[in-house]
Amino acid sequence: MKTITFFYDVISPYAHLAFEAWPQAMMGVGHRVRHVPVLFAGLLAHHGQLGPAEIAPKRDWTYRQVAWLAHRASVRLDMPASHPFNPLPLLRLGAACAQHPAAQGGTSRFVTEALFHHVWHGGGDPNDPQRLAALSQRLADHMAECGHPMPATDSPEVKQQLRANTEAALALGVFGVPTFEVDGRLFWGQDALPMLRACLEGDAWFDSGAWEAATQVGSGVARVR
């Protein structure tokens, strides 16, 4: 059974859509999933990119497109009170839930869903202190019931876990979220789910050399920055 690593940041509406689409998109395909929180801003900084919300026309299009995608898929997606926002408190909360050895830096589906729904359900401020406190208590209670007490989100161990997750993603070549990794191959974006499924099902294209050939295209010009 294949293990898929799902790199996510709750700031991304596309990551939320991918998470919600996952059960149906992968129905009938045997697999395991590691949900790994990473800092999207760290990926952008490493690759010298701007985020979609940092380019005004692209920001408008992004919000329109995700609203349409959610509508088409009958998935709930309420834009938060402000976007972009600082996702660190939520990502560290996820990292705190991933501190026990069995987690391997990843969050359970229960925790991942709670983090995404906190942002993308209800239209509230993701960093509202009362909302954050309520979510933290809910997850702390859940982790305690599972036998894994949750450390403080501002502890050095938790901060290091999030850094380690982000560095591990960068080492694999991850540049955006959501990204799915399986057998060293990266699939980026919510719209890559059909391609990922085909790979898991053994589509012959992936062993034809086409995957590798795509990286051999020459660059005709480099833009001066």
pLDDT at 65: 98
pLDDT at 101: 87
pLDDT digits (tens, 9 = 90+) for 113-151: 999 999 999 999 999 999 999 999 999 999 999 999 999
pLDDT at 211: 97
Closest to 87 in 3D by CA, of 11, 165, 17: 11
What is the overall mean pLDDT for the chain? 96
* Helix H or strand E segment including 181: strand 179-182
This model's pTM is above 0.85: yes
Share of the chain above pLDDT 90, in %: 94
pLDDT at 112: 98
Contact (CB, 8 A) for 92 and 162: yes
Domains of the chain (ranges plus CATH)? 2-216 (3.40.30.10)
- Can you say how many angstroms the Cα of residue 150 is from the centroid of all Cα atoms in its chain? 21
Contact (CB, 8 A) for 9 and 39: yes
How many whole angstroms separate alpha carbon 107 and alpha carbon 95? 7
* Helix H or strand E segment including 197: helix 193-200
pLDDT at 57: 97
pLDDT beyond 90 at 223: no
> Rounded mean pLDDT of 178-186?
98
pLDDT band at residue 222 using 50, 70 and 90 as cut-offs:
confident
Query: What contacts 97, CB < 8 A, 6 or more positions away?
Result: 103, 107, 108, 111, 139, 143, 148, 150
Question: What is the β-pairing status of strands 31-37 and 2-8?
Answer: parallel
* CA quadruple 154, 160, 164, 166: dihedral sign: positive
User: What is the per-residue burial (b if ≥16 Cβ within 10 Å, else e) of 163-188?
Assistant: eebbebbeeeebbbbbbbbbeeebbb
Question: Rounded to the nearest 10 degrees, what angle do helices 156-172 and 88-96 cross at?
Answer: 100
pLDDT beyond 80 at 224: no
